[in-house]
């Protein structure tokens, strides 16, 4: 009888795992609505399956359905109060809700956000994401409700002890937010020297753009492309060239490469590359080509208002 039960139950277990695998696949493909639909049924039938509940919360979160995400993550916190990652996700969903509501309501949520992140940090001394959340939280909160540059720096130092790259990036963020550009630049450059990831280069190039230094931003992206060989970086080079009217020839060449080698993994639709080309040709006083490429952009994405506004302004 026991052997018979094993054979009877095995297909059900296998089917259950397949459902979760399928839901995860939907999330990876950014098909969040289908993941939500599948997980809604699965969680109703398996209300204590933590993995399913977590994925369900993730599916809601990706769709910015913060109340629903909070409900799922709260279940996990109640079921496993010593699991740091559950507190982190709960705090994150609460924090995103706080950003989406009016200031009075947000103030009533902030205390719970902070408590969730601090709990996660205490439970797991090596939880990098929680420390990043606390760095940003303490920098963005006004001092009157608990914001503190020194507390933010405390968690940046903890990050540095766990990962030098994360620590340098966190300190770059703090000094950029605190309007200390020389110190911010120093730490972003240290992050590149230490790690050299796409993220490191992106943080430095964004910093330069925010500080109206497009030539430096462009050079940083060029260096990143030379190291990482990602087609998406060709678009970024063209974008900076187009927006700031610098190195137009290089920008044009990179956008043409982006279009030629485009794949869905590159992220930005070709329409936007055509729009950037139109901007470049407008800067170059070539109205005919500018019209050609903005028409291509509108043809692909006809509902984008900025495309239509650009054409009207030619």
Decide if 94 is inside a domain. yes
Decide if 65 is inside a domain. yes
Decide if 95 is inside a domain. yes
Domain boundary among 69, 89, 124: 124
What does the pLDDT average to over 296-300? 97
Alpha carbon distance 116, 92 (integer Å): 8
Name the 3-class secondary structure at 147. coil
Percent above pLDDT 90 for the chain: 82
Percent above pLDDT 70 for the chain: 94
Number of independent structural domains in the chain: 2
pLDDT band at 50 (very low <50, low <70, confident <90, very high): very high
3-class SS shares of the chain: helix, strand, coil, % to 5: 80, 0, 20
Decide if 76 is inside a domain. yes
Decide if 302 is inside a domain. yes
Q: Where residue 120 sits, what CATH number does that domain have?
A: 1.25.40.10
Domain boundary among 69, 99, 124: 124
Decide if 75 is inside a domain. yes
What per-residue confidence (pLDDT) applies to 12?
46
pLDDT band at 9 (very low <50, low <70, confident <90, very high): very low
Q: How far is CA 102 from CA 40, 98, 107, 291, in A?
A: 29, 8, 9, 42
Residue 143 has pLDDT above 90, yes or no: no
- Higher-confidence residue of 71 and 103: namely 71
What does the pLDDT average to over 14-19? 63
Residue 14 has pLDDT above 50, yes or no: no
Alpha carbon distance 32, 291 (integer Å): 36
Residue 241 · residue 280 · CB < 8 Å = yes
Name the 3-class secondary structure at 141. coil
Decide if 11 is inside a domain. no
The per-residue pLDDT for range 196-216, each reduced to its tens digit, is 999 999 999 999 999 999 999
Residue 304 has pLDDT above 70, yes or no: yes
Decide if 10 is inside a domain. no
The DSSP secondary-structure symbol of 101 reads S
Domain boundary among 57, 89, 124: 124
What per-residue confidence (pLDDT) applies to 144?
62
Phi and psi, residue 206, nearest 5°: -65, -40
Half-sphere exposure of 281 (CA within 13 A, CB side): 20
The per-residue pLDDT for range 166-187, each reduced to its tens digit, is 999 999 999 999 999 999 999 9
Residues 6+ apart with CB under 8 A from 173: 135, 136, 139, 184, 203
Mean pLDDT of the chain: 92
Alpha carbon distance 203, 224 (integer Å): 11
Half-sphere exposure of 164 (CA within 13 A, CB side): 8
- Range of the structural domain that residue 280 is part of: 242-314
Alpha carbon distance 149, 81 (integer Å): 29
Concatenating the DSSP letter of every residue in 222-269 gives HHHHHHH--HHHHHHHHHHHHHHT-SHHHHHHHHHHHHHT--GGG-S-
What per-residue confidence (pLDDT) applies to 16?
62
Instruction: Please name the residue that has the structure tokens 């550009």.
Output: 181
């Amino acid at each position: 009888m026991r052997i018979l039960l094993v054979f009877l139950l095995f297909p059900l277990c296998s089917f259950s795992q397949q459902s979760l695998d399928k839901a995860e696949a939907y999330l990876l493909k950014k098909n969040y609505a289908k993941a939500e639909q599948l997980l809604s049924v699965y969680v109703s039938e398996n209300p204590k399956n933590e993995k399913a509940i977590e994925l369900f919360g993730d599916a809601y979160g990706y769709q910015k359905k913060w109340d629903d995400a909070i409900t799922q993550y709260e279940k996990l916190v109640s079921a496993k109060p010593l699991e740091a990652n559950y507190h982190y996700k709960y705090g994150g969903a609460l924090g995103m809700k706080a950003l989406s509501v009016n200031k009075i309501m947000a103030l009533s949520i902030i205390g719970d956000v902070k408590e969730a992140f601090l709990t996660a940090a205490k439970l797991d001394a090596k939880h990098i994401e929680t420390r990043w959340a606390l760095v940003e939280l303490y920098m963005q909160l006004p001092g009157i409700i608990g914001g503190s540059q020194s507390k933010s720096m405390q968690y940046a130092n903890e990050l540095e002890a766990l990962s030098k790259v994360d620590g340098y990036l966190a300190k770059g963020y703090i000094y950029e937010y605190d309007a200390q550009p020389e110190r911010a630049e120093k730490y972003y450059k240290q992050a590149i020297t230490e790690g050299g990831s796409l993220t490191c280069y992106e943080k430095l190039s964004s910093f330069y753009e925010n500080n109206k230094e497009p030539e430096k931003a462009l050079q940083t992206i060029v260096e990143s492309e030379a190291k990482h060989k990602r087609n998406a970086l060709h678009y970024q080079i063209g974008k900076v060239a187009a927006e700031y009217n610098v190195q137009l020839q290089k920008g044009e060449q990179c956008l043409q490469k982006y279009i030629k080698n485009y794949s869905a993994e590159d992220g930005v639709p070709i329409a936007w590359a055509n729009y950037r080309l139109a901007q470049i040709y407008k800067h170059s006083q070539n109205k005919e080509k500018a019209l050609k490429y903005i028409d291509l952009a509108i043809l692909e994405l006809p509902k984008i208002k900025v495309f239509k506004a650009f054409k009207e302004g030619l």
